[in-house]
């Protein structure tokens, strides 16, 4: 299997974690990324494989897939053990919804923090405006922690057993933390869940690689509150 990934791509890293959890060996191509130009120029293989021109892209012989959710569902079908989704239909649907919420709903305020890892340009007014929006987004993220803590309750994992919902939610929270969102302190169950996942070898590798990519590529982001 061949995975087109990127050093700071939340969605590609979801797939990397799934592949490692499944014990599937894969080759990885890290497409070029800079904090000033993003993914431009796009990797030709990604342009050819994905009409959205985004990573991740997975190639398995004659099958080429894009979109982290579709890719992980395929991996779960092809390599059912260990499963990344519950079998029971309602539990499975609920779990898929949690993944979607992480990828598409929890992502929105995190997106408002992304400018922080880009080097400041000459337009200081724009940066100040972005920072004002970011402070509001931080409050939304804090509210999201509360909602997540409630959903998690006393369970070890969001869907009972370890699943794609944990991968997606972790990656979302991790992205926020990299970009100066508040720590999870105050939500003990969520914080314990986060530490438990961070210790899994699949997550630990991704966290270490992203930290190293940040040191190499990103503008240093001040810790939460120190910006205010
Ligand atoms: N829903 C897609 C989102 C993929 C995505 O947003 N990829 C980003 C990197 S994390 C990308 O390639 N961005 C470049 C662009 O949109 O031009 C997935 O789950 O794979």
Query: Domain 2-78 has what CATH class?
Result: alpha beta
**Nearest residue by C-alpha to atom 9 in ligand 1:** 9
**Nearest residue by C-alpha to atom 2 in ligand 1:** 67
Q: What is the pLDDT of residue 225?
A: 77
pLDDT digits over 164-201, tens only?
Answer: 999 999 999 999 999 999 999 999 999 999 999 999 99
Rg of the chain's alpha carbons, rounded to an integer?
18
**Packed helices 164-178 and 10-22: angle between N→C axes, nearest 10 degrees:** 140
Residues of the chain with CATH 3.40.30.10: 2-78
pLDDT digits over 98-137, tens only?
Answer: 999 999 999 999 999 999 999 999 999 999 999 999 999 9
Q: Locate 84 and state its tokens.
A: 């990344």
Residues of the chain with CATH 1.20.1050.10: 89-217
Residue 228 has pLDDT above 80, yes or no: no
What is the CA(39)–ligand 1 centre distance, in A? 10
Any atom of ligand 1 within 6 Å of the Cβ of 5 = no
70-77: Cβ within 8 A, 24+ apart: 71/15, 71/18, 72/14, 72/15, 72/18, 72/164, 72/167, 75/15, 75/18, 75/19, 75/22, 75/24, 76/18, 76/164
Q: How far apart are CA 40 and CA 107, in angstroms?
A: 22
Give the domain 89-217 fold.
Glutathione S-transferase Yfyf (Class Pi); Chain A, domain 2 (1.20.1050)
Across the chain, the runs of DSSP E, i.e. the strands, are 2-5, 27-30, 57-60, 63-66
* Among 95, 91, 71, residue whose Cα is nearest residue 14: 71
């Amino acid at each position: 299997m061949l995975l087109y990934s990127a050093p700071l791509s939340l969605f590609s890293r979801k797939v990397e974690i799934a592949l490692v959890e499944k014990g599937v060996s894969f080759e990885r191509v890290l497409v070029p990324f800079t904090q000033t130009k993003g993914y431009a120029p796009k990797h030709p293989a990604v342009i050819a494989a994905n009409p959205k021109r985004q990573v991740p892209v997975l190639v398995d012989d004659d099958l080429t897939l894009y979109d982290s959710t579709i890719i992980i569902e395929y991996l779960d079908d092809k390599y059912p053990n260990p499963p990344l989704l519950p079998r029971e239909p309602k539990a499975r649907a609920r779990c898929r919804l949690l993944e979607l919420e992480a990828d598409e709903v929890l992502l929105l305020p995190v997106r408002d923090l992304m400018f922080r890892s880009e080097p400041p340009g000459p337009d200081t007014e724009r940066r100040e405006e972005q920072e004002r929006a970011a402070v509001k987004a931080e409050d939304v993220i804090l509210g999201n922690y509360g909602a997540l803590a409630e959903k998690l309750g006393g369970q070890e994992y969001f869907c009972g057993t370890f699943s794609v919902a944990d991968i997606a939610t972790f990656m979302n929270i991790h992205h926020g933390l990299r970009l100066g969102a508040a720590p999870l302190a105050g939500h003990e169950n969520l914080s314990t869940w986060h530490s438990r996942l961070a210790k899994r070898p699949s997550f630990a590798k991704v966290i270490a690689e992203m930290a190293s990519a940040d040191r190499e590529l990103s503008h240093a982001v001040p810790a939460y509150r120190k910006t205010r």
